[in-house]
Amino acid sequence: MGPLSEAVVAVSLIFIWVLVTLVVGVLAGIKRKFSLEGYLVSGRALGLVFMYVLMAGEIYSAYAFLGTGGWAYSYGAPILYIGYAALAYSFGYFYAKYVWKAGKKLGYMTQGDLFRDRYGSVPLAVYMALVGIVFMIPYIQLQLQGLGYILHVTSFGKISVRLGIIVGMTVMMIYVATSGLRGIAWTNLLQAILMFLVAWAILFAVPFIKFGGVSEMFQALKQVSPQHLTLPGAKGTMGVPWFLSTMILCGLGFFMWPHLWLSILGAKDIRALRRTYVLLPIYTVFIIPVVLAGLTVAALGIQLSKPDEAVLKAVEVSFPTWVLGIVGMGGFAAATSTASGILLTVSALLSKNIYNYIKPGASDRELVLATRIAVIVVAIVAMLLAIFAGGRLVALLLLGYSGITQFFPGAVLGFFWDRVNKWAVGAGMTGGLITIT
């Protein structure tokens, strides 16, 4: 098989998966008449299996699939900050039940609903929704750029990054607008399985193919760039203070992402919710082969103009070209499984906490329609930003975290401290946002 034929096979595999994703997502809701609760939180009926794959897919994104490999390639040891997941899941195990109970009792469908009721302030809920929207857009942008990189590399440049972004966003826009959280849960069932298999069946083999084993790869990396193996990393800019502060920021900010609240509120009971957090660390091990693939490229001394392509480069130099198609399928799965949930959440904040504020008497049916229209508008905006205002994947993720974490005091203390009020929460959010800008 010649290089051109292999490239055609690789791209064909990706587009087959794109079509499968689209069909499954649309079929999940095409014949249903959704209430707003059914559309946004799947009727609060998600059991353990769907909760697990929904959260795994939403958490482990293009950042995890491409960004972690890119950072391992560029910086080395600082990528170990991803250990914040252990802190995040431990916190979620105890905290999420309060969110779920309040949502079940009072009918919450978004994070803004809690801020509105707990602090008796619709303007605060609108403010929170606007901040959430502003800082979640870069997260969608991150996923779209990942999609663009995948199609560009696997087609040997014959498909532009821009076209990849347009294709990925169009697919997500269609099935999210059609099926809401139910469609996302069904597509994530496929995506989560594929991501895990690709990581361990293909990426884990890379250091063995190129160096004969993981230990040998690290020995080679020590010769090429010993700075990769210790803090402050290859660039010398990420020491212990950065490492600890980033772990705390991401660990505590993890469940402040509004799209994860939709997943929490969609659980059928607390038992399914807690078992999900107990089991999620098992899925986290899929990051290990991704990091090893990025470090292998660094050990080989390969120079990349775009470090986020390190994982795809690792596969390209280790396997026949057509295998890139399978890895590309996994990358597409990682990006869309997260971006679709964020797309729905941003649209929910726009309709439920902003449009409903402007028009308090809006019917349930009208709010569903408003959310679907918002899906289309947000998709187009995110697509344009990804095309014309691109950035490094992990940098975009950390930008989002820095803003979203400002919700932590209001979202957590609101359950445990009666004296906290809307003025304190609003001032705290504003002060935090000023600090990071």
> φ, ψ for residue 275 (rounded to 5)?
-65, -30
* Positive/negative CA dihedral, 419, 133, 348, 257: negative
Number of domains in the chain: 1
Domain range enclosing 404: 3-436
Tell how far CA 200 is from the center of its chain: 20
Please state, in angstroms and rounded to a whole number, the distance separating the CA atoms of residues 246 and 250: 6
Two tokens, residue 55: 């959260």
Q: If you write DSSP's letter for every residue of 98-167 in order, what string do you get?
A: HHHHHHHHHT--SHHHHHHHHTT-HHHHHHHHHHHHHHHHHHHHHHHHHHHHHHHHHTTTSS-HHHHHHH
Two tokens, residue 367: 């709010």
Per-residue pLDDT of the chain (437 residues; tens, 9 = 90+): 656 677 788 878 888 998 999 999 999 998 788 999 999 999 999 999 999 999 998 888 777 778 899 999 999 999 999 889 989 999 999 999 999 999 999 999 999 999 999 999 999 999 999 999 988 887 888 788 878 877 787 776 777 889 989 998 999 999 999 999 999 999 999 988 998 999 999 999 999 999 999 999 999 999 999 999 999 999 999 999 999 998 988 888 888 999 999 999 999 999 999 999 999 988 889 899 999 999 999 999 999 988 888 998 999 899 988 888 898 888 888 888 889 999 999 999 999 999 999 999 899 999 999 999 999 999 999 999 888 876 655 566 667 778 888 999 999 999 999 999 999 999 999 999 998 77
Please state, in angstroms and rounded to a whole number, the distance separating the CA atoms of residues 322 and 11: 8
268 Cβ neighbours under 8 A, 6+ residues apart: 44, 45, 46, 47
Task: Provide the CATH number for the domain around residue 273.
Answer: 1.20.1730.10
> φ, ψ for residue 401 (rounded to 5)?
-60, -40
**Residue found under tokens 């919710």:** 273
